[in-house]
Amino acid sequence: MSIEQDVAGEFILGGQASTIHPHGQGLINDTYVVTTDTGRQAILQRINRHVFPHPEHIMENLRVLTEHVRRGIVTGNTAGRKLRLPEILKTRHGKDFAIDTEGGFWRAQEFIGHTCTLEGISDIAQAEEVGFALGRFHALIHDLDPARLHQTLPGFHDAPGYFARFLRASAQPRQTGASRELLHGLSFVESRWSLTRVLEQARREGKLATRPIHGDTKLNNFLFDTQTGKAVSLIDLDTVQPGLIHYDIGDCLRSCANRAGESPGDIASVHFDLDIGRAILKRYLTETRGFLTRFDHDYIYDAIRLIPFELGMRFLTDHLEADHYFKTEWAGQNLHRALVQFRLTASIEANERSLKMLIADLTAV
């Protein structure tokens, strides 16, 4: 019996596990879909302890989050369409996680049926649905005290910290020589290091508030109803923690407004799609107009520019450190991923005036 089969038997899944298959394309955790003999399905996931040093904090955050959202729905603090969060499934001993014989940390969650994820945005309606889901998620949790949440990834979105690590990692290649692609990546980061300070400086100055955030709002973490095409859920809540909602906004636009994807064969195909960006932001700002401030609006462009740059810097650093953080399928993949994000950053910079005008129009009173 495999470890996955053994662990699946620890959880109350509505039947006995009959099949277990790998699920999704996550770069961090190992995820499986379990089908039981009754036909019910569940998501079974092994949390990467190297990335999440205290996985129990993830589960504590999920309990706080789901209870807050449930209370808001019961008391009528939300209106209109609902956004569904996956239910946490208990073990036979009443816990919400299990430890395998090798020390692996596992959790199980509801499988939301009749849904799918998207590899790319194909039309404006899908972009609007992404904006709705992210905006509704922030609206549901904006009044949750961030002090009640753990930092599941200490230093996550600490752009100055990422830059410091990049400098340490990049010292060796500059002594021994590097490829043209690597030299371009090194130069790109070094010429834009000041970007890393913008959002955190605004937080220190009191312009931006610490709030609960999702932390990983890439496109394939949005679930769409297979019949209606509507967004019904936002999943992969491991990185829910205190932060700046601008990180979520920037990461969402980074993922969705680049039609070429994160690993295109031709990096030259990467660009920021203004129409997709407009559709996402328009719907997002409609959902969040009740609590976002003028300063929040002022820093949206900076977030859109920073997050692809930050991720590219992280990919590049991991490449320099022998790929121990992000999973890779071939040598040099993290360098390729970094160059994609830098190309996207450059495209955003080329559209700075248009993006700022768009944001100003959408946030005008």
Q: Is the pLDDT of residue 52 over 70?
A: yes
Residue 116 lies in a domain: no
What is the reported pLDDT for 171?
Answer: 87
Per-residue model confidence as pLDDT tens digits over 232-291 = 999 999 999 999 999 999 999 999 999 998 888 899 999 999 999 999 999 999 999 999
Could you give the number of structural domains in the chain?
2
Largest pairwise CA distance in the chain: 63
pLDDT tens digits along 160-201: 999 999 999 998 765 566 789 999 999 999 999 999 999 999
What's the confidence (pLDDT) of residue 87? Answer: 94
Here the CATH number for the domain that contains residue 106 is: 3.30.200.20
* 169/161 Cα distance (integer angstroms): 12
305 within some domain: yes
pLDDT at residue 17, as a whole number: 92
- pLDDT at residue number 365: 62
Predicted local distance difference test score (pLDDT) of residue 24: 75
pTM of the model: 0.92
| Cα 365 to Cα 363: distance, rounded to the nearest angstrom | 6
* Average pLDDT over the chain, rounded to an integer: 93
* Residue 115 bridge partners (DSSP): 225
Q: What local confidence, expressed as pLDDT, does residue 175 receive?
A: 52
For residue 78, pLDDT beyond 60 = no
Residues 76 and 181 in one domain: no
CA atoms lying within 13 Å on the CB side of residue 52:
23
Query: Is 317 within the bounds of a domain?
Result: yes
Residue that finishes a domain, picked among 67, 89, 111? 111
* Pair 133, 100 in one domain: no
Q: Are residues 203 and 149 in the same domain?
A: yes
Buried b (16+ CB within 10 A) or exposed e, 301-339: bbbbbbbbbbbbbbbbbbbbbebebbebeeeebbbbbbb
For residue 142, the enclosing domain spans: 124-363
Parallel, antiparallel, or unpaired for β 17-22 and 30-36? Answer: antiparallel
Indicate whether 36 and 69 sit together in one domain.
yes
User: Which candidate, 327, 74, 110, places its Cα nearest to that of 223?
Assistant: 110
Nearest-10 crossing angle of helices 300-320, 159-176:
40
